[in-house]
Structure 1
Amino acid sequence: MAQSGNPIQPANVSQYDASHIQVLEGREAIRRRPGMYIGSIGERGLHQLVYEVISYAVDEHLAGHADSIDVTITADGSIRVADNGRGLSVEVEEPAGKPAVERELTELSFGPKPRTGYWVSGGIHGVGLSVVNALSSRLTVEIHRDGHRWTQEYEKGVPITALTRHEESSGHGTTLVFLPDGDIFESTLYSFATLSQRLRELAFLNQGLAITLTDERPQRPVRYHHIDGLRAYVAHLNPYPPSLVHSPAIAFESENEDKTIFVQVAMQWNTWSTGGFHSFANSTRTHEGGTHEEGFRTALTDIVNDYAQRQRQITEDDEDITAEAIYTGLTAVISVKLAHPLVEGSTRTKLSNPEAGAYVQEVVREHLTDWLDHHPDEASAIIRHILNTST
């Protein structure tokens, strides 16, 4: 089994140009039926616009080209998202005669984003920047790439200026500023708390990525940057050290031999809460679980029972420890990154890739068994805690 400390790397991350564009549908369909693309025209859909823009910046991080994202709620209610990635492509593609960035902002694409050269993309919906542009009363893109600064402006998804090359620049990255269209959304007032929660989550899930959120309305800025990744996430979810059954959290990660699935897990038992599972696919919360979470649960139940029997904390004549008892007080984060996430469920947040479930089972069986064998004192405390909850 191959292992890696970094998420899956794409095969050709340097190839990011107009040839990767795929055309599906235009702005009029988006403006007529916005709920089909962002879920609603209420608060959920309003914030989804921000998440779509951020997902492109996260893609640059996953591809190894960006380590910071700065998000700002401006004084007039616009959103500004800046990253230090390569910058959206400014290459003009024939025969359309349009810059790649203009096509990215005006042509609709769903799902994983092969057009951008990313093997793994942030998010599991991925409706793209064109939806954000079409549902914004105005949008401005600024790019530092190919030795210059470039800008272009849009109104309701329509370019009102050509892509313009400005002064020379040694920088790199993309800044998008957009104002949601008040004729479409029930409200255009962004919640600092809602954005802050999601950005902190993304920082936990994407180890080493620094994300800042600033509110110019005003609100104090926040910055999230977690070198410890999911272990830090579990520590955040389990804030009371005296209640911990063991410390630090158990954490492990692995990439399969084909480099098509990357799994990260962190888990810790405590005595103060009932616990909870937090599962993600490509950094998007899978609220309805799915194959990756099922794989984790199946492996965990088998491993705990096997270890308890081997250590004679239960005998072969005893009934197996129930899953309910094992889960009590357990806080677990399961994150998978894969190229083509398949989703279902009432909110389209249930992962259904069978290969993800199988590989999570394999990873958990190997790494958790190894951890228990090498930490006998902590392992014994965990089994005692579980047995106490089952009585």
Structure 2
Amino acid sequence: MSDTSARRGDTTHDWAGSVDHDHLARIRRKPGEFSPGGVGHLVLEVLAYAAEEAESTGGGHAVVTVHPDGSVSVADNGRGTATRADGSGGFVKKPVMSTKDLRFFGFPDAQTLPDGHPRHGMSVVAALSDWLVHTNRRHNGSWTQRYERGVPVTDLTPIADDGTTGTTVRFRPGEDVGPVRLPEVGGWQYLSVEIVG
């Protein structure tokens, strides 16, 4: 698929691969470029996906929580991260954490986040975090997966359904990103955001 069609929104990520090590390494080499303003920008990168989901469903809510261990979680009440059948009775998920978002990465004029800096995608958050846990709840199943510096270190681990849908991304930013300072989280037309902690 061409860059042009990707930017039109025909797709967001290439499902052919689950990890792009070169892409992750590029992000880790330039934390200041990909997390301008530090942790606050990473929070906005996660919220941008929740805002897209909220726009597509007519409205949504997200909760940003600062945890005592220095990690931050962003939980939304959307439909959950997309999955596809893998042909053997299981599922594969859209590779949002470890591959580039084809709509934004490398296109600084594609979208600006509320902090005034370009959007790059969720892989920036994963690559610049010591660890990240992605929990996904969909009507066709719920699971969690852990990453370290953007690389998955567990398989998809099934978890019990609780009757809800949505995505939770909890991450502990690396020291190269700086201390946890949350951004102004308003400015999303369809998404309300609550901050806890």
TM-score by length of 2: 0.76
Change (3 A) 1:92 1:134: farther
Deviations 1:129-149 (A, max 9, x none): 111001000100111113322
Provide the residue aligned with 1:60 in structure 2.
53
The RMSD of aligned alpha carbons is 3.1
Distance 1:166 1:46 in 2: 28
1:92 CA drift (Å): 5.2
Equivalent runs, 1:322-361 vs 2, <5 Å: none
TM-score by length of 1: 0.40
Unaligned runs of 5+ in 2: 1-10
Q: 2:39 aligns with which of 35, 38, 46?
A: 46
Secondary structure at 1:105's aligned position in 2? coil
Deviations 1:333-363 (A, max 9, x none): xxxxxxxxxxxxxxxxxxxxxxxxxxxxxxx
Secondary structure at 1:104's aligned position in 2? coil
Change (3 A) 1:98 1:168: closer
Change (3 A) 1:35 1:99: farther
Distance 1:34 1:172 in 2: 32
Name the structure where helix makes up a greater proportion of residues: 1
Change (3 A) 1:98 1:156: farther
Provide the residue aligned with 2:97 in structure 1.
105
1:165 CA drift (Å): 2.0
Distance 1:32 1:20 in 2: 24
Change (3 A) 1:36 1:111: farther
> Which amino acid counterpart does residue 58 of structure 1 have in structure 2?
A
Secondary structure at 2:38's aligned position in 1? helix
Secondary structure at 2:97's aligned position in 1? helix
Secondary structure at 2:41's aligned position in 1? helix
Unaligned runs of 5+ in 1: 1-18, 114-119, 216-391
Provide the residue aligned with 2:119 in structure 1.
126
Change (3 A) 1:128 1:93: farther
Provide the residue aligned with 1:303 in structure 2.
none
> Which amino acid counterpart does residue 196 of structure 2 have in structure 1?
T
Deviations 1:349-389 (A, max 9, x none): xxxxxxxxxxxxxxxxxxxxxxxxxxxxxxxxxxxxxxxxx
Provide the residue aligned with 1:206 in structure 2.
189
> Which amino acid counterpart does residue 118 of structure 2 have in structure 1?
H
Change (3 A) 1:112 1:181: closer
Query: Is 2:148 the partner of 1:155?
Result: yes
Q: Is the 8 A contact 2:141 2:161 kept in 1?
A: yes
Percentage identity across paired residues of the two chains: 30
Deviations 1:261-287 (A, max 9, x none): xxxxxxxxxxxxxxxxxxxxxxxxxxx
1:171 CA drift (Å): 1.5
* Larger RCO, structure (CA 8 Å, separation 6 or more): 2
Q: Is the 8 A contact 1:105 1:157 kept in 2?
A: yes
Change (3 A) 1:74 1:166: same
Change (3 A) 1:35 1:87: same
Deviations 1:272-314 (A, max 9, x none): xxxxxxxxxxxxxxxxxxxxxxxxxxxxxxxxxxxxxxxxxxx
1:122 CA drift (Å): 7.6
Secondary structure at 1:85's aligned position in 2? coil
Deviations 1:168-188 (A, max 9, x none): 343210000000012x23x32
Which protein is bigger by CA-based radius of gyration? Answer: 1
Q: Is the 8 A contact 1:52 1:128 kept in 2?
A: yes
Q: Is the 8 A contact 1:69 1:82 kept in 2?
A: yes
Provide the residue aligned with 2:31 in structure 1.
34
Secondary structure at 1:167's aligned position in 2? coil
Q: Is the 8 A contact 1:110 1:126 kept in 2?
A: no
1:32 CA drift (Å): 1.2
Distance 2:139 2:96 in 1: 18
Secondary structure at 1:86's aligned position in 2? coil
Q: Is the 8 A contact 2:76 2:167 kept in 1?
A: yes
Secondary structure at 1:138's aligned position in 2? strand
